[in-house]
Amino acid sequence: MADQQFPGWHGTTIIGVRKGDEVVVAGDGQVSLGQTVIKGSARKVRRLNTGGQDVVAGFAGSTADAFTLLERLESKLEAMPGQLARAAIELAKDWRTDKYLQKLEAMLIVTDGQDLLVITGAGDVLEPENDVAAIGSGGNFALAAARAMMDTDRDAEDIARRAMAIAADICVYTNGNLTIEKISK
C-alpha cells in the first residue's frame, strides 16, 4: 500500500556508444518524483580512476543505490586492476547473492574503452550487440536512434548526443541536459 501512495523516483537515460577507438557514455540530468521534475542538472555519468585504470560509468535508478554499486565496483577494480569484465562479474555475483545488495535498484553502463558492459541486479553482465548500450526510462528510444546512426560517418559522441536528443523528445523522464564522458582504447 505504501508503494502505491508514494509516486517513486522515475527515469533517466544513459547511453554508451563505441565507434572506432572511442567509447562515449552520455546521460541526461533529469530527476523526477512522480510527475514533478525535482532537478534538471544531475550528473549520472562519472569517471572512476582506480589503481591507474580509467573507467567511465553511467547509472540509472536510485542515486544512493547506484553510488553504493559504484563504490563496490571501484573496490573490485582495485583488487583486479585492468580487468573490468572480471570486476563487473564479481560485482554482479555479490549484487545477486548479498541480501543487502539485492535490494538495490539501479543499473550501470561501464567501460574502460575496451569493454562496454551493462550490469544489472539480476546478476547480468551484458556486452551489447552493435556497440550500443542504453538503460533507463528513455533507454530504448536512445538505443534505437543510436543503432540507426551507427553506419553513418558520425563519430561516437555525435551519435550519443543525437540519440539522447531523440530520447529527450520522446521520454518525459529524460531531458537534454547531458553529461558526456569519452574514453579511448
What pLDDT sits at residue 10?
53
Closest alpha carbon to 174 in 8, 27, 9: 27
pLDDT above 70: residue 6: no
pLDDT above 50: residue 3: no
> Cα dist. 93→4, 43, 75, 102 in Å?
31, 27, 14, 10
- As beta bridge partners, residue 15 has 26, 134
| Domain boundaries defined on the chain | 2-184
Rounded to two decimals, what is the model's pTM? Answer: 0.91
What pLDDT sits at residue 127?
96
Where are the strands (E) in the chain, listed by range? 9-10, 13-19, 22-27, 31-33, 36-39, 45-50, 53-61, 106-111, 116-119, 125-126, 132-136, 179-184
Taken in order 20, 23, 29, 31, the sign of the CA dihedral is positive
Interval 14-72: pLDDT, tens:
999 999 999 999 999 998 888 889 999 999 999 997 767 899 999 998 888 888 899 99
**Catalytic position from the list 12, 13, 111, 174:** 12
| Interacting residues of 39 by C-beta distance below 8 A, sequence separation 6+ | 29, 30, 31
Interval 146-155: pLDDT, tens:
999 999 999 9
Domain range 2-184, its CATH number among 3.40.50.1220, 3.30.360.10, 1.10.3720.10, 3.60.20.10: 3.60.20.10
pLDDT above 60: residue 8: no
Residues in the chain, total? 185
12 catalytic? Reply is: yes
- As beta bridge partners, residue 23 has 18, 183
Interval 80-128: pLDDT, tens:
999 999 999 999 998 888 877 878 888 899 999 999 999 987 889 999 9
